Structure 1
Amino acid sequence: MKPSQLAKGFKARPDTTSSEKRTALDRLNAIDGIVDIQSVGQAANGRASTFVSDEQADADVSTESEQFRAWRRANRYTAGQVIELPLKAIKASPFNPRHFYLKASIAELAVNLARQGQQQAIHVIPDYDNAGTFFVSDGGRRVRALKEANKETVKAIVVDLPIGIQSYKLGYDLNVQRDSQTVFDNAVVWRRFLDEQHFQSQRELADHLGLDESTIAVALSVAKLPENVMQEMVARPDRFGSNMAYQITRYHSARGSDATLRLINKITSDDLSTRQVADIVKGRASGQEVPKPPGRQRYAQRMEIKLDGVAVGDLKSYGEDRLELRLRGLSRDRRDELLRQIETMLQFNEEKK
């Protein structure tokens, strides 16, 4: 079997284990048997396919499930075909590999989709018990952004997978290939898999996913963190990979949530390495206090800034003469527009003097 086109250019996250990389690539090589990559290319060019004849639809049914074959024939669908579906017919899968979705990221994607249209089809699985509805297998961010952009339809490829661990693997592998799967998503979802007894042990889960048991163990330890603590790290996957998250978990066990949130801020502001954080964790365990970063000053006032109803940053005042504006998650056009407005305002104030 030829290597999957989805696997080309695969770059693993820095904290991804070697077994995780190999397994993701191995499974990605099999995705060509599920998804017609050429149809994805057609979707990228804005040419969504239409329903075809029964003869075309029945061209290759050797590996189809009976449920999918019946659905496909009833809807005159060809495997790999890109079709338009109502957004209201799309719902989240209970086996979604993603748990965290950043509001600022969704808002930025919504702006891009509103301007450029949907360039890549999502993957969906029919809900055979509720005709006309579909579970998202891959593309949850695009669905959320399309809804925020007030779109009514989505380009989709219908895949023949049962909702369960198999559909989870497909979404997980695609996310790993894009570097968008985080240890925090894994922590929440893998913990739920064990709690709901989809697997009887972390060893069974590791074997089924083809990962080292240590990878599972680290994620399950991270799952002990409160969700608000994880949320503070999700937005910075470059700073908070699995090794850093594990150190944060150890720190939280000893110091609690408030101290942990302060440490997360310190890691970001002081650009601490995992080794430095490990040293802090050891100091905390022995009761030693880590001094606050020099020069840190408590703000006098803070105003949250929202654009289109989404929080994108804040404006803080310090002492008698300092004002600090911080904005994140903006599109390039929005950022440049705001910069021009600020420059115009400052020039106007200078001219008035």
Structure 2
Amino acid sequence: MTTSKKKSVLGDNIVSGGLNALFGQQGIDVDVDENKGDAIENLNVNFIIANPFQPRHSFDENALRELANSIKENGILQPIIVRVAKESKDKYEILAGERRWRATQLAGNETIPAVVRAYDDATMMQAAVLENLQRENLSPIEEALAYKQMMDVLHLTQVQVAKRLGKARSVVANTVRLLTLPQEVQDWIQTGELSMGQGRTLLGLHNKRQILNLAKRVMQERLTVRQVERLVNEMNENKVVSKATPQISAELKETEKALSDKLATKIAIKHNQRGAGKIEINYGSDQDLNRIINALGLDLND
């Protein structure tokens, strides 16, 4: 492998003002300090690999080509940040700057300026998520998967993830909840056919089939989040009503009416799927109760 070392010709202010401003508050040091022996190296692009914890699954090809054209004209204005790969000591893993690395390859450059650091897995994961979130390059599903990966691999709570990334806990919680949606709905959010707001609103339903059907309707009719909220509320209200007042057969309804007519009061027959149930007889006073008892032919004095 061929690398060449040189002085930090880009200047500390560029590195500090860029990546260090992005990561500094989270305690990730990416500043270049020549007094400590730091230097920018020109690394062969073929010996660099992506961050193993990269949460982004897709890159905008048009944006990469634009960046590649800029690199051809102006060069790399800010070095990427890497560490020596854990599995292969002759390669490097990117902490930050994967887009620049990919665009550099598109531009046909064989080398790229880089700062080599010693980072652990936790820092690599945190930095990969942070860079993408700050630059708004992640889809809602990629963001949710990134949070979950941090919780699973680093054994963090939602509160701890939020603190490390400078996010509100509610943001982390609501985003991770998207992963409980059916996979088809997650795919539609990933491709942008559904928005994060629409996806979060669909979480108000607890039946997978209802969620899928409503999601399809949202895409077909291009419903707003507010319209989806109204539909979810209506569906939940109808579910409550149907549970509270189960339907009875036409035959039982006729029986209910006949009893009501005979006793001159409201009668309700409640019947379950097992064939059992109960008859409720309403009365308005003690005198009304005695009347109903007499109408039933009961003699309570015996």
In the superposition, the TM-score normalised over structure 1's length comes to 0.50
Are 1:177 and 2:134 matched, yes or no?
A: yes
Structure 1 contact 95–167 (Cα < 8 Å) conserved? yes
Structure 1 contact 184–234 (Cα < 8 Å) conserved? yes
**CA 1:26/1:92 → structure 2, altered by over 3 Å: closer, same or farther?**
closer
What's 2:35 paired with?
59
Are 1:34 and 2:46 matched, yes or no?
A: no
Deviation at 1:199, TM superposition (A): 1.5
Structure 2 contact 130–165 (Cα < 8 Å) conserved? no
CA RMSD of aligned residues (A): 4.0
Unaligned runs of 5+ in 1: 11-23, 37-56, 62-77, 289-353
The residue type paired with residue 230 of structure 1 is Q
The residue type paired with residue 131 of structure 2 is L
Are 1:157 and 2:153 matched, yes or no?
A: no
Structure 2 contact 56–132 (Cα < 8 Å) conserved? no
Of 8, 17, 23, which aligns to 1:5? 17
Q: What is the correspondence of 1:177-256 to structure 2 with a 5 Å cutoff? A: 177-196=134-153, 198-236=154-192, 240-241=195-196, 243-251=197-205, 253-255=207-209
Of 234, 237, 253, which aligns to 1:283? 234
Q: What is the correspondence of 1:18-97 to structure 2 with a 5 Å cutoff? A: 27=25, 33-36=29-32, 59-60=35-36, 78-79=38-39, 81=40, 83-87=42-46, 89-96=47-54
For 1:258 and 1:134, the matched residues in 2 are separated by 43
Deviation at 1:160, TM superposition (A): 1.8
What's 2:92 paired with?
134
Structure 1 contact 95–168 (Cα < 8 Å) conserved? yes
Question: What does the per-residue CA deviation read over 1:303-346, in whole Å, with 9 as the maximum and x for residues that have no partner?
Answer: xxxxxxxxxxxxxxxxxxxxxxxxxxxxxxxxxxxxxxxxxxxx
For 1:285 and 1:132, the matched residues in 2 are separated by 59
Determine what percentage of the aligned residue pairs are the same residue: 17
Where relative contact order (Cα < 8 A, 6+ residues apart) is larger, the structure is 1
For 1:155 and 1:252, the matched residues in 2 are separated by 50
Between Structure 1 and Structure 2, how many residues are aligned?
Answer: 222
Unaligned runs of 5+ in 2: 1-12, 240-302
Question: What does the per-residue CA deviation read over 1:123-155, in whole Å, with 9 as the maximum and x for residues that have no partner?
Answer: 3222155122111222334445566x4846352
Structure 1 contact 101–141 (Cα < 8 Å) conserved? no
What's 1:66 paired with?
none
Question: What does the per-residue CA deviation read over 1:62-82, in whole Å, with 9 as the maximum and x for residues that have no partner?
Answer: xxxxxxxxxxxxxxxx44x25
The residue type paired with residue 259 of structure 1 is N
Q: Which has the larger radius of gyration?
A: 2
**CA 1:114/1:178 → structure 2, altered by over 3 Å: closer, same or farther?**
closer
Deviation at 1:287, TM superposition (A): 5.4
